[in-house]
Chains A and B, each alone.
Chain A
Amino acid sequence: MLKKYKLMMKVPKTPKNAYDHGRFISSLIEHQIKHFSEIERSLLKPGETLTDYTKIKTELQASKYLKHMTALAHERGGRAKGAVVAPEKTSSATNAAVSKSKTKKGKRKSR
């Protein structure tokens, strides 16, 4: 609860229909995911499979992958040495974060 201030300015609320987690990801988020995929590759333990990030199409799918990877980086990070290695071409599986997501509303318009 804010105390009383002399100069208070009301800020308009964002309309509820602004929310759309089915929006297709922008080029920015696409690259963010690619970068996390490199981190994922470097943190994989034997027997673990790399997420197929190319199947991430919507902001909801992206948010699930990013949550998983951020937690992983916190958990396993700091122990790995050196910078991320350059990417290699590998095939990969899709993890649950991606396969459970749905793309109802998205239309790809972003570059």
Chain B
Amino acid sequence: MPPAGLDNLKHIVVLMMENRSFDHMLGGLMKQYPRINGLTGNESNPDMNGTMVKVQPNAKFQGQLDHDPDHHFPGVDLQIFGGTPPGPGRVANMQGFIKSYATQGTSLNASHAIMSYFPPKSLPVLTTLATEFAVFNGWFSSIPGPTICNRAFAHYGTSFGNVDMNLFYIQDPIQSIYERMVNGGHTAKIYYYDQQSSTMEIVNLLKNQPQIFGSYSQFVADCNGNTLPEYSFIEPCYNDHPGPGGGQILASDQHPDHNVQEGERFIANTYNAIRTNERLWETTAMLIVYDEHGGIYDHVVPPACQPDGYSATADKTGTGEAFNFDRLGIRVPAILVSPYVPRGTVIPGTEDPNGLIFEHACIPGTVTDFFLKNYDQRTVREKNSRNFLTPLTDTLRPDDDCWVFDL
């Protein structure tokens, strides 16, 4: 018998934010919650003068990372391996973050900002959800590279061999999770914020399958009207633009240098849309996850992973070495929310010999396994990915045991 949390589950919602590492957003929680694999305060990186610079709880909502930190494949390679060029036997040490940021023309002092993290009280929404529900110590971006290829894993379980920002070409027989769901008689939707922000990397899907897209206001209406699809993927607002009636819409994706507080409000609003509908709340699991680390420091060495059968050539990676999709990218925040998740759940990662490793292929993997059961037309990597719904238990927490955000 599956636990009641899974038995009653009717909706899975994934909210994917932009470009922040685990330690940057949640690392400060370890002092109060020792099972969360965050920062001791002694982690450091050398700067361009060779001075060791420790992590500092002085991250700012905006204006500190206005040079967008490098998160393309060669930059991330430098961050992970500290500048040791590709070759046999090199060891990942997470010592190249400041070096990487300094190569972008930042001043010596400004390059230290890449080691900044938020004190937990600065991020009341994210840290509350992390400590009230389940936080994953070992959720990694799928590729040590940028947004587009990483988000591809969330939609297709693969990036079709891409490690960059280029438009990718879908290769038969692999379908997006949305197409799989709809073709299997289920319901699924991608909710982009609005047309001015639109969708990020799946424009091909927008062109060919426009019926599976909706706006964020439609998501809120679907929550209120009990018409939410079985699977929903939410995209935050990616740019600042005028709103209706002379208003201002702020980017809520938290991509540097967009305001992190606005992202907090967006996460809270999305959570509230589910939380304040009792029927929906009791039948929904919501995953909040970041696409990649955005060039910002994290102390955990990314582990090896199941290759997905693709390879990126040395000229594509920019490092002089081919990439066989056999190791993961840098760790990102990931939180599972459901009233069936006990308060304070921590899913151990690489710090625990019995820890569990998650990455974005787990998203279509879990959704497919849950709704479609046996479905073969996907990569081996996705098929073998871990199910992120395992924290759901038999016990429904009482309504007055779970927070609501006042916006």
Given the interface contacts A9-B128, A59-B240, does A36 sit within 8 Å of B405 by beta carbon? no
Q: Does any Cβ of A come within 8 Å of B147's Cβ?
A: yes
Tell me the bound Cα distance from A67 to B265 in angstroms. Answer: 23
CB-CB under 8 A for A74 and B213, given A8-B403, A14-B265, A66-B197: yes
Contacts of B241 in A (CB 8 A): 21, 59-60, 63-64
Do the beta carbons of A64 and B196 come within 8 Å of each other?
Answer: yes
Q: Assuming A14-B265, A74-B210, A77-B207, is B403 touching A63 (CB within 8 A)?
A: no
> How extensive is the interface on chain B, given as a class?
35 or more
Q: Does A84 contact B (CB under 8 A)?
A: yes
Instruction: Please measure, in the bound complex, the distance between the C-alpha atom of A42 and the C-alpha atom of B169, giving whole angstroms.
Output: 14
B208 touches A18 (CB 8 A): no
Q: A7-B403, A14-B262, A109-B66 are in contact. Are A73 and B240 (CB under 8 A)?
A: no
Q: A9-B124, A73-B206 are in contact. Are A32 and B238 (CB under 8 A)?
A: yes
- Return chain B residues, CB-CB under 8 Å to A59: 239-241, 251
B195 within 8 A of partner (CB): yes
Taking CB atoms and an 8 Å cut-off, the chain A residues in 36-92 that contact chain B are: 36, 38-39, 42-43, 59-60, 62-64, 66-67, 69-71, 73-74, 76-78, 80, 83-84
Are B239 and A63 closer than 8 Å at their CB atoms?
A: yes
Asked if B207 contacts A80 (CB within 8 A), the reply is yes
CB distance from A85 to the nearest CB of B (A): 10
A8, A14, A28, A84 pick with most chain B CB within 10 angstroms: A28
Given that A5-B404, A63-B197, A111-B104 are known contacts, is A25 also in contact with B239, CB under 8 Å in the complex? Answer: yes
Contact of B265 among A11, A70, A109 (CB under 8 A): A11
Decide if B306 is an interface residue (CB 8 Å cutoff).
Answer: no
Q: Are B206 and A70 in contact (CB under 8 A)?
A: yes
B209 touches A11 (CB 8 A): no
Q: How far is the CA of A77 from the CA of B210 in the complex (A)?
A: 6
For residue B174, give the distance in angstroms from its CB to the closest CB of chain A.
12
Give B126-151 as 1s and 0s: 1 = Cβ < 8 Å from A's Cβ atoms: 00100000000000000000111000
With a CB–CB cut-off of 8 A, which chain B residues contact A13?
261, 265
- Kindly report which residue of chain B lies nearest to residue A32, judged by CB atoms: B200
Partner of A8, one of B192, B207, B242, B404: B404
Chain B CB within 8 A of A6 CB = yes
Residues of B with C-beta under 8 A to A66 = 195-198, 239
A99 at the interface (CB under 8 A from B): no
Binary CB contact string for chain B from 366 to 394 against chain A (1 if under 8 A, 0 otherwise): 00000000000000000000000000000
Closest to A85 in B: B169
Cross-interface CB contact of B167 among A11, A26, A77, A84, cutoff 8 Å: A84
Interface size class of A (residues with CB under 8 A): 35 or more
> In the bound complex, how far is the Cα of B248 from the Cα of A42, in angstroms?
32
A18-B62, A83-B204, A84-B207 given as contacts; is B402 within 8 A of A109 (CB)? no
Give chain B residues whose Cβ lies under 8 Å from the Cβ of A11: 124-125, 264-265, 268, 405-407
Q: Which residue of A lies closest to B66 (CB)?
A: A109
Say yes or no: A78 contacts B240, CB within 8 Å. no
In angstroms, Cα B65 to Cα A109, docked, is: 10
Question: In the bound complex, how far is the Cα of B268 from the Cα of A10, in angstroms?
Answer: 10
Q: Are B124 and A71 in contact (CB under 8 A)?
A: no
CB distance from B262 to the nearest CB of A (A): 4
Task: Say which residue of B250, B406, B407 sits within 8 Å of A18 (CB atoms).
Answer: B250
In the complex, how many angstroms separate the beta carbon of B319 from the nearest chain A beta carbon?
17
CB-based contact B203/A18 at 8 Å: no
Given A66-B197, A70-B206, the answer on whether A7 and B255 have CB atoms closer than 8 Å is no
Q: List 18 A-B contacts (CB under 8 A).
A: A2-B272, A11-B265, A13-B261, A15-B261, A16-B248, A18-B259, A18-B262, A19-B240, A21-B241, A23-B240, A25-B239, A31-B166, A42-B207, A63-B241, A64-B241, A69-B198, A84-B167, A84-B204
Q: When A and B form their complex, which 6 residue pairs have the shortest distance between CB atoms, in order from nearest?
A: A63-B241, A63-B196, A6-B400, A77-B210, A59-B239, A18-B259
For the complex with contacts A5-B404, A28-B200, 10 further pairs of A-B residues with Cβ separation under 8 Å are A35-B203, A39-B206, A42-B207, A60-B241, A66-B239, A67-B198, A74-B206, A78-B209, A83-B170, A111-B68
Identify the A interface with B (CB < 8 A): 2-3, 5-16, 18-21, 23, 25-29, 31-32, 34-36, 38-39, 42-43, 59-60, 62-64, 66-67, 69-71, 73-74, 76-78, 80, 83-84, 109-111
User: Which residue numbers of B lie inside 8 Å of A, CB to CB?
Assistant: 18-19, 61-62, 66-68, 70, 104, 124-125, 128, 146-148, 165-167, 169-170, 192, 194-201, 203-204, 206-211, 213, 238-242, 248, 250-251, 255-257, 259, 261-262, 264-265, 268, 272, 276, 399-407
